[in-house]
């Protein structure tokens, strides 16, 4: 049986909301939910422990990842850590009006790092329900994961999460 883990960098709590739903829907133990700022120590000992990784981050500034992801991402890229055989799905928070030019770009940065390291990405969704100027999360005409905008589209959050979880379960064969 595949081992599932959730790794999330969050400041306002939106990404953690999604993490909590994922934990409930996939039966993930509390010990397997890693708050990157508080609980993360080591790429090889923590991230590589799991077969399926749900990776979340809020987007900051010019499309940056939550600061807690910076060192692990650099380590993965600089040390050439291999994620072959791992399955990854991405989620996070953004603001399509105030930061529409970089909406949820952190997801795209996570996607780039982990797929370049050999991981298989799942959970891409149609971008049609989102309004933004630009996003690194838009890959091949789709959004590479679940983007949440609690500032402007909070009414869409429950349905977006529900549909994404259904997609993940289908792609994971659950």
Q: CA neighbours within 13 Å on the CB side: how many for 140?
A: 7
Report all structural domains of the chain as residue ranges with CATH numbers, in order of start: 4-171 (3.40.50.360)
Q: What are phi and psi of 126, to 5 degrees?
A: -65, 140
Q: Which residue has the tokens 């349905």?
A: 159
Q: Per residue in 19-55, pLDDT tens?
A: 999 999 999 999 999 999 999 999 999 999 999 999 9
Give the whole-number percent of the chain exceeding pLDDT 90.
Answer: 85
What pLDDT score was predicted for residue 61? Answer: 85
Q: Which of 68, 96, 70 is nearest to 8 (CA)?
A: 68
What pLDDT score was predicted for residue 164? Answer: 97
133 burial type by CB count under 10 A (0-12 exposed, 13-18 middle, 19+ buried): exposed
**Full DSSP string of 133-155:** S--TTEETTEESEEEE-TTT-GG
Q: Per residue in 111-152, pLDDT tens?
A: 999 999 999 999 999 998 888 889 999 999 999 999 999 999
Q: Is residue 121 within 8 Å of residue 90, measured between CB atoms?
A: yes
Global pTM exceeds 0.75: yes
What pLDDT score was predicted for residue 133? Answer: 87
Residue 83 has pLDDT above 90, yes or no: yes
What pLDDT score was predicted for residue 2? Answer: 94
What pLDDT score was predicted for residue 48? Answer: 97
Q: Helix, strand, coil proportions of the chain in percent (round to 5)?
A: 40, 20, 40
Residue 1 has pLDDT above 90, yes or no: no
């Amino acid at each position: 049986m595949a081992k599932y883990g959730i790794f999330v960098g969050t400041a306002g709590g939106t990404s953690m909301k999604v993490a909590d739903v994922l934990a409930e829907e996939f039966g993930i133990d509390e010990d397997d939910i890693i708050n990157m700022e508080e609980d993360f120590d080591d790429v090889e000992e923590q991230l590589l422990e799991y077969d399926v990784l749900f990776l979340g981050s809020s987007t900051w500034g010019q499309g940056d990842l939550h600061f807690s992801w910076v060192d692990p991402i650099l380590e993965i890229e600089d040390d050439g850590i291999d994620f072959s055989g791992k399955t990854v799905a991405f989620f996070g928070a953004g603001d399509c009006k105030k930061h529409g030019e970089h909406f949820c770009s952190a997801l795209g940065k996570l996607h780039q790092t982990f797929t370049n390291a050999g991981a298989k990405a799942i959970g891409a969704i149609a971008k049609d329900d989102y309004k933004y100027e630009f996003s690194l999360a838009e890959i091949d005409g789709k959004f590479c994961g679940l983007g949440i905008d609690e500032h402007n589209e909070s009414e869409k959050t429950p349905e977006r999460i529900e549909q994404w979880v259904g997609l993940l379960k289908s792609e994971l064969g659950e």
